[in-house]
Amino acid sequence: MNTSIPEKLPARYVVIDEARAGQRIDNFLLAILKGIPRTHIYKLLRGGEVRVNKKRIAPAYRLALGDSVRIPPLHAVNAPTPITTVSESLTTLIESRILLETDELLVLNKPSGMAVHGGSGVRYGVIEALRALRPNERSLELAHRLDRETSGCLLIAKSRAMLVQLHQLLRDNEVKKTYLALVHGRWPRRLNRVDAPLQKNELSSGERFVRVREDGKESLTTFNVRQYYQEATLVEAHPFTGRTHQIRVHAAHAGHPILQDDKYGDASANVKARELGLRRLFLHAARIQFMLPSCDERTVVEAPLDSELQAFLETLSAKKGD
């Protein structure tokens, strides 16, 4: 590691072209500021040192064509900071969970408990691990995100051009996502639509918390009952908007929070579920569907339930028969 004091670069401005339009500001900064720690980039954003069109912006801000981005003065670095060496066990895990790979994209069955990227106390996540595993793949980027405890289909672009295409499909609601969630109680079959605006708040610790509020952003999730169990229901959830924690908050708002949701869930229900063997959030991105402009057929990728979730359902089925 280079311990010498690096040269400080002056502030500069970058005008966003078509290739960068639609990209999140945090991902844009991570891509162009090689060697700058992720935590420092988020600190710059929170402190308002990065400006777009002379205004402060949030890390989730999506760049528009013609935006002027101010990059604050930074210390130059001679080489990218290496991430922790990826262990053989993690290498095996990641490679074994690749559901689809082409020259343009990759779909991974993300493990529960692993963040999609580093930051906020997490040294590295899925995308950093993939980049370390595939050093010749220089353009790997997340097309969307999953919560740390959520497993399932995660879409990753292997080129800037593909990232732009996927972001456009996501904005146009042309990427259809299906989640499986086990919720507390008996979900009514007639309740197949939760249309409740959401507002995201970020605590001083960096933790995100989302609430239903009339002045929040439009948010819609549809739900379908898959199976009833004692004191629980397996539902399919289809988010039509991509808000933070959307399915989790909408399920809780409907009175049936997802089991083992330590942020929006029911504490007593979580204790009972843990006693029966459920140790993680029961939310799984089971299917993703999209059609690329360059393809004649729709791409459909499915991620099987993790063995621990399947085993828990079997436990509930056996209990139901008692």
Q: Which residue out of 17, 67, 103, 147 is catalytically annotated?
A: 147
In contact, 142 and 154? CB cutoff 8 Å: yes
Q: Which two tokens stand for residue 231?
A: 């004191």
Read off φ and ψ for residue 277, nearest 5 degrees. 115, 0
Alpha-carbon distance of 6 to 76, in angstroms, equals 6
Read off φ and ψ for residue 295, nearest 5 degrees. -115, 150
152 Ramachandran zone, left/alpha/beta (phi>0; psi -120 to 50): left
Strand pairing class (98-101; 105-110): antiparallel
Task: Give the CA angle between residues 268, 187, 317 to the nearest 5°.
Answer: 70
Beta bridge pairs of residue 106: 101, 156
Alpha-carbon distance of 157 to 167, in angstroms, equals 10
Respond yes or no: is residue 17 known to be catalytic: no
In contact, 157 and 105? CB cutoff 8 Å: yes
Neighbours of 69 (CB within 10 A): 20
In contact, 37 and 51? CB cutoff 8 Å: no
Alpha-carbon distance of 311 to 54, in angstroms, equals 53
Beta strands in the chain (DSSP E): 8-9, 12-15, 51-52, 55-56, 68-71, 74-75, 98-101, 105-110, 141-142, 151-157, 176-184, 193-195, 198-202, 208-212, 220-229, 232-239, 283-290, 299-302
Looking at the annotation, which residues are catalytic? Answer: 147
